[in-house]
Amino acid sequence: MDIGKDKPLSGRISRRKLLGGAATAAVVLVQTATGKAFQAGVSVAELDDPTKIPGVLPGTVGTRSSFEQPVKKPSPTSSRTPLQDLYGTLTPSDLHYERHHGGVPAIDPAKFELVIHGMVERPMVFTLADLKRFPSVSRLAFLECSGNYRGANDGKITPQDICGLTSQSEWTGVALSTLFREVGVSEKATWFLAEGGDAAVMTRSVPMSKGWKDAIIAYAQNGEAVRPEQGYPARLFLPGWEGNTSIKWIRRIEISDQPFMTREETSKYTEQVGPAKIRQFSFTMDARSIITYPSYPARVEKGWIEIRGIAWSGRGKISRVEVSTDAGKSWHLAALQEPVLDKSLTAFRYLWQWNGGPTEIMSRAVDETGYVQPFYKQLLAARGGNMGYHFNPVTAWYLQSDGQVLFRST
Ligand SMILES: Nc1nc2c(c(=O)[nH]1)N[C@H]1C(S)=C(S)[C@@H](COP(=O)(O)O)O[C@H]1N2
Ligand SMILES: [Mo]
């Protein structure tokens, strides 16, 4: 059967439409194992029938299809994960959000050292090889910057703009509790300092209880060495806590019986929670969710739509996600993708038939502690205008009658 370029595949969908529309002229640059590029600059319409020519030979590293180009959105201080372009819950490592206060340092793994000292029996220096000799642990968990905030906007903002400082990886390394035992941490210790070896020499104080419970010194991310942007060759990873406590390029841990009141713990990383109340050491990330499809810049057609999104909570597991398709008047339970993991992104979906009338759709996450994701107006009432940190409001999407989806505040 001839499925020629412009002949319809079915009554409704032509091949061109499937490939992204007649205007598509993707540049296909395929690098072979021997480094020879071919099919460079070929437009979709000119692509040869793939069943008539041999394909590309196996290579040394895989590539992303040239038809798929999800990218992080950089600013001088961070770059955001394109949540609207992703599926499931695992963030491809090269799309993990980045936040660094002094740029990405180049660290020779052979020279890497982690010092643990202070209130310990045996101050010690660990090389990367030392860390890898200890029993290892792996866990899937999200990381979110506590400054995961959206700016003023005209409704034309994506999930990436709204909360793209959220990503998820499988982190592998040594449990910090293992190292605590190795150095013989004093029973009187209550806090430790984590210090990075980047130009910012970023430091944060962390309660010992978190260190004992589930802290990891991670040297791997999604099955390979941690990426430079994520802290190569090793970082602290604190599941469910504000991203800034997961010190990258970790080089020193000092054990103490009080917090260190570092630069980041005075002017930064404190937030207003009432007219005359400031919160400090607000480590846990609250529950949040967002519908990633449909979302801006998508345009949808009337009929069945699978509303899809992600939900997460630093307090534990997501217990339910509720979806509203009538601007919050009524709510329905979304289906959660199993397994629902502790402090992990959880995918949800809700099948809905859109009649084409303008409406607002939104999602609301509830976690296992009973915490309910607030509306923007509730956050505003509780905090006043000062909302840069720990910002987790319900996000609404407005569906215009022409199918265009736009951001709406709640
Ligand atoms: N050494 C060091 N660690 C750091 C930072 C930094 O600037 N330097 N940024 C922190 C902040 S604010 C966040 S949100 C996370 C971001 O981690 P990621 O870039 O792997 O997503 O790293 C944290 N750890
Ligand atoms: Mo952050």
Using alpha carbons, list the distances in angstroms from residue 323 to 166, 190, 252, 348, 395: 21, 42, 45, 10, 11
Mutate to test the pocket of ligand 1, among 145, 169, 345 (most ligand atoms within 8 A of CB): 145
The pair phi, psi for residue 80, each rounded to 5°, is: -105, 145
Do residue 261 and residue 338 come from a single domain?
Answer: no
Do residue 108 and residue 222 come from a single domain?
Answer: yes
Do residue 111 and residue 239 come from a single domain?
Answer: yes
Mutate to test the pocket of ligand 1, among 99, 143, 264 (most ligand atoms within 8 A of CB): 99
> Model confidence over 49-93: pLDDT tens digits?
999 999 999 999 999 999 999 999 999 999 999 999 999 999 999
On whether residue 8 sits in a domain, the answer given is yes
Do residue 55 and residue 108 come from a single domain?
Answer: no
Do residue 132 and residue 204 come from a single domain?
Answer: yes
Do residue 245 and residue 303 come from a single domain?
Answer: no
How is 241-280 classified by DSSP, letter by letter?
Answer: BBGGGS-SSEEEEEEESS----GGGTTSSEEEEETTEEEE
Do residue 249 and residue 323 come from a single domain?
Answer: no
pLDDT score, position 387: 82
Number of domains in the chain: 3
CA–CA gap between residue 240 and residue 284 (Å, rounded): 6
The answer to whether residue 275 scores a pLDDT higher than 60 is yes
Do residue 123 and residue 180 come from a single domain?
Answer: yes
Judge contact between 246 and 238, C-beta under 8 A: yes
- Average the pLDDT over each of 23-27, 110-114, 137-141 and give the range with the smallest value: 23-27
Element (H, E) at 380: helix 376-383
Q: Which residue has the higher pLDDT, 332 or 33?
A: 332
The pair phi, psi for residue 177, each rounded to 5°, is: -60, -35
Confidence of residue 279 (pLDDT cuts 50, 70, 90): confident
388 Cα–ligand 2 center, Å: 11
pLDDT score, position 13: 42
pLDDT score, position 44: 59
**Alpha-helical regions (H) of 114-231:** 128-133, 159-163, 176-183, 208-213
148 Cα–ligand 2 center, Å: 8
Reading the block at residue 174, the tokens are 């040594």
10 Cα–ligand 2 center, Å: 48
Do residue 115 and residue 213 come from a single domain?
Answer: yes
Do residue 306 and residue 179 come from a single domain?
Answer: no
> Model confidence over 212-258: pLDDT tens digits?
999 999 999 999 999 999 999 999 999 999 999 999 999 999 999 99
CA–CA gap between residue 88 and residue 86 (Å, rounded): 7
User: Measuring from each residue's beta carbon to the nearest atom of ligand 1, which residues come in under 6 Å?
Assistant: 96-101, 143, 145, 196, 198, 200, 202, 229-230, 243-244, 246-249
Q: List all residues 6 or more positions away from 84 whose beta carbon is below 8 Å from its beta carbon.
A: 158, 159, 160, 292, 293, 295, 296, 298
pLDDT score, position 6: 44
The position carrying tokens 């961070």 is 78
Judge contact between 306 and 351, C-beta under 8 A: yes
Burial category of 127 from C-beta neighbours within 10 Å (exposed 0-12, middle 13-18, buried 19 and up): middle
Do residue 15 and residue 153 come from a single domain?
Answer: no
Using alpha carbons, list the distances in angstroms from residue 268 to 62, 121, 381, 384: 41, 33, 22, 18
Residue 296's domain is classified under what CATH number? Answer: 2.60.40.650
Range of the domain at 404: 288-408
- Average the pLDDT over each of 171-185, 262-276, 393-407 and give the range with the smallest value: 262-276
243 Cα–ligand 2 center, Å: 5
Q: What is the mean pLDDT of residues 18-34?
A: 43
The answer to whether residue 198 scores a pLDDT higher than 70 is yes
Using alpha carbons, list the distances in angstroms from residue 381 to 121, 376, 387: 49, 9, 11
Burial category of 281 from C-beta neighbours within 10 Å (exposed 0-12, middle 13-18, buried 19 and up): middle
CA-proximal residue: ligand 1, atom 10 (nearest): 244
Confidence of residue 383 (pLDDT cuts 50, 70, 90): confident
